[in-house]
Amino acid sequence: LGDITSEPGQVLERLMFACIPTLNGSYLERLKPLPDLYGPLWVCITLIFSTAISGNMADFFSSLGKDTNWEYDFKKVSIAGTVVFSYVTVVPALLSGFLWWRKSNAPVKLADILSLYGYSMSLFVPVSLLLCINYEWVRWILVVALVSASGGVLSLTMWKVLEEEPKQLALILTGILLALHVALILLFKVILNMNIINNFYCIM
């Protein structure tokens, strides 16, 4: 299922190029012949804590000037962890299972997709920290930049992977994967800037 560990230099290279979309979808070539799970694991763990920190910072800033006592919400860690690890494991597993069911000749295995999805979350870390900025136009600029960079790497890579599939099917699959990625980005924006986590737990 791929390599559990990897050389630090190789991980840094994969992190860097996960932020740069290329029209030939060559990012997968940087994961082969042995995709690692070490880099993606630490990307996800870092993202979980950066999201929790940023979410609490956003809550703190929104409480300034109000007659409320701000408290750190540790539930954000568990919610961020659930969202992140569900996304980077369930979506690759479903895609890999679908390709296996179709007996596809796509040059990709489950380990490749898991590594791709893990590294595609790299840009989420700095952006998640910046989304606590209390200017809506800044947040939307960050969202568009994240969709363009992270979503671009993911969709262009998968389009290259699916080039042996019928064009219509490849287009549909790539569109679905990009839509899920955009939905995740928007979910992060909502969680970090609209305090829905607190409201969710109040309802429960």
Q: Are 195 and 59 in contact (CB under 8 A)?
A: yes
Q: What is the pLDDT of residue 7?
A: 64
Q: What is the predicted pLDDT for the residue at 134?
A: 73
Phi, then psi, of 153 in degrees rounded to 5: -60, -45
Write down the pLDDT at residue 15.
Answer: 84
Classify residue 63 as exposed, middle or buried by CB count within 10 Å of its CB (0-12, 13-18, 19+): middle
φ/ψ of 129, rounded to 5, equals -75, -35
Q: With 50 as the cut, is the pLDDT of residue 2 above it?
A: no
Arithmetic mean of pLDDT over the chain: 81
pLDDT reading at 151 higher than 80? yes
- 3-state SS, one letter per residue, for the chain: CCECCCCHHHHHHHHHHCCCCCCCCCHHHHHCCCCECHHHHHHHHHHHHHHHHHHHHHHHHHHCCCCCCCCCCCHHHHHHHHHHHHHHHHHHHHHHHHHHHCCCCCCCCHHHHHHHHHHCCCCHHHHHHHCCCCCHHHHHHHHHHHHHHHHHHHHHHHHHHHHHCCHHHHHHHHHHHHHHHHHHHHHHHHHHHCCHHHHHHHHC
The 10s digit of each residue's pLDDT in 114-142 is 999 999 999 999 988 887 777 788 888 98
The yes-or-no verdict on residue 196 having pLDDT over 60 is no
pTM of the shown model: 0.82
Residue 164 confidence class, pLDDT cut points 50, 70, 90: confident
Express each pLDDT in 38-90 by its tens digit.
889 999 999 988 888 877 776 666 666 666 666 666 677 788 888 899 999 99
Q: How far does CA 41 lie from the centroid of its chain?
A: 12
pLDDT of residue 6 exceeding 60, the answer is no
Residue 100 has pLDDT above 80, yes or no: yes
User: Are the C-beta atoms of residues 166 and 138 closer than 8 Å to each other?
Assistant: no
Cβ–Cβ < 8 Å for 111, 137: no
| Residue 168 three-state SS | helix
